[in-house]
Amino acid sequence: MSTTQTSLTSSDAAPPAKPLRAIPGSYGFPFFSPIRDRLQYYYSQGRDNFFKTRVDQYKSTVFRTNMPPGPFMAKDPRVVCLLDAQSFQVLFDISKVEKRDLFTGTYMPPTALTGGYRVCAYLDPSEPKHAMNKKLLFSLLHDRQPHFLPEFHDTFSKLFDGLDAAVAGEAKKADFNALNDVSSFEFCCRAYFGVDPASTSLGADGPKKVSKWLLFNLHPLMVLGLPKIVEEIFLHTFHLPPFLVKSDYKKIYDFFYSAAAKTLDRAESIGLDREEACHNLLFATCFNSYGGFKVFFPDIFQWLARAGEPLHKRLREEIRSVVKAEGGDGSITITALEKMELTKSVVYEALRIEPPVMFQYGRAKKDFVLESHDSSFEVKEGEMLFGFQPFATKDPKVFKDPETFVADRFVGDEGAKLLRYVYWSNGRETDVPAEGNKQCPGKDFVVMVGRLLVAEFFMRYDSFEAEVGTVLLGAQVTITKLSRATS
């Protein structure tokens, strides 16, 4: 098995002195220039080309620009844009940047969408409730860990049954995303709280209600394909009124208040208000976990489908041989997952090439010098720093063939060195989430579940074919052929 070689950045050794350069770019005229930039970002240039044209114009991966949504939702749209793997890392350094109210970017959704509270994602580590809420999430993940694998197997076996039925049916194809929405929400609730939401008063509409609530949080960052004037007024200029989703949110909240009763007891024991803790658990489950899986799982299948039978063969051989060596009863264990080197690499590569979280923000706490690969830049206290993650994790000075999905990129010793440049979790993949940093507390859980999805699939199937398109925040995967396991 070959391992992709790379040229590592100078940060792997003592970096040479880099020339100091003024940050290029301009914010233009207040109000009018941010609207112009917003229209370019969403329509005339498009997201990726918006950044590429400025990199070419300024001959720099660090520059000044305005980021959407701008007026009237964002008080200040001005950012210093970071588009390389070297400069991007400053966004993880909480000694230099503050993360207060920056989870979604230059705007913050109304707190009416989260019960009137600023939930943990919007808190800076300097705020006492940040550590308390993160401690609660760590304890939840630790206590429920024994349930993750069996709950995933049971839940996603139903998804696979749905794929089989749809492909064998009249349509001869299956909407993976639609089935994944249902299974991912059920899995999150069962894994964290041991409750199937469909069996409660929330019923089978839970995923739809949560998706509607997610839209109200994220619509300033979306293009729905409506007429431009409609999108500009209703999505990018003013917040959608929270009262339109209030009843749906209340039903979701009531479900969590009951399902998470034991965890809420623990929250009170560490000094958190029970109601506030419930809104935080809801957000962590529905936004961070479920919202992430809505994007991440179809992305994995997108790249598996594009790679085709040669990769499928290698994966099924690895997965089945490891499971057999670990006991032979067909069940997948944590120990087995750790031994599946190619499977692990595939998941890391999916996270690298298309991170489920694309944006990172931080406000400079003080004056400091920022470094890209080849230059240094002075950043002033109070300036907003913005990193577009898909550019940073496809930095050609770090990764060979960065735009290509390379399944075994992270296999072996050389591949392991590259994990420090996989940034999807608001930190390096080699970093450890802690109460005092902003890295996702469920980082290891997400990676494990991604591997589990691949392993469970190839224990059941030899191969598959799919049509791949795009939806709001990721890939649309339609399964057109499934080949059941023959050995």
pLDDT tens for 74-89 read 989 999 999 999 999 9
Give the burial class of 1: count Cβ atoms within 10 A of its Cβ; 0-12 exposed, 13-18 middle, 19 or more buried: exposed
Residues 6+ apart with CB under 8 A from 388: 51, 81, 82, 83, 358, 359
Two structure tokens written together for 84: 């390389």
Scanning 364-411, the segments in alpha helix (DSSP H) are 389-392
Percent of the chain's residues with pLDDT above 90: 93
Q: Write the pLDDT tens digit of every residue in 173-186.
A: 999 999 999 999 99
Is 211:184 a contact under the CB 8 Å cutoff? no
**For 158-166, which contacts have Cβ atoms below 8 Å and span 24 or more sequence positions?**
158/183, 159/183, 160/456, 160/457, 160/460, 160/461, 163/479, 163/482, 164/482, 166/479
pLDDT exceeds 90 at position 355: yes
What pLDDT does 5 receive? 37
pLDDT, position 471 = 86
Q: How confident is the model over 301-324, as a mean pLDDT?
A: 97
CB 449 within 8 A of CB 152: yes
Is pTM beyond 0.85? Reply is yes
Q: Is 440 annotated as a binding residue?
A: yes
pLDDT tens, residue by residue, 299-312: 999 999 999 999 99
| Position 230 pLDDT exceeds 80 | yes
For the segment 353-363, the average pLDDT, to the nearest whole number, is 95
Answer whether 248's CB lies under 8 Å from 209's CB. Answer: yes
* ∠ Cα 187 475 225 (to 5°): 115
Check: CB of residue 295 under 8 Å from CB of residue 356. Answer: yes
Residues 71, 35: contact at Cβ < 8 Å? Answer: yes
- Residue 328 is predicted with a pLDDT of 67
Indicate the pLDDT class of residue 6, thresholds 50, 70 and 90.
very low
Average pLDDT over residues 452-458: 98
What are 49's two structure tokens?
A: 């080309």
| Residue 100 to residues 106, 113, 436, Cα–Cα distance (Å) | 11, 17, 14
Where b means 16+ CB within 10 Å and e means fewer, 189-225 reads bbbbbebbbeeeebeeebbebbbebbebbbbbbebee
Residue 67, SS3 per DSSP: coil
Query: What are the residues whose beta carbons fall under 8 Å from the beta carbon of 38, sequence distance 6 or more?
Result: 66, 68, 69, 70, 236
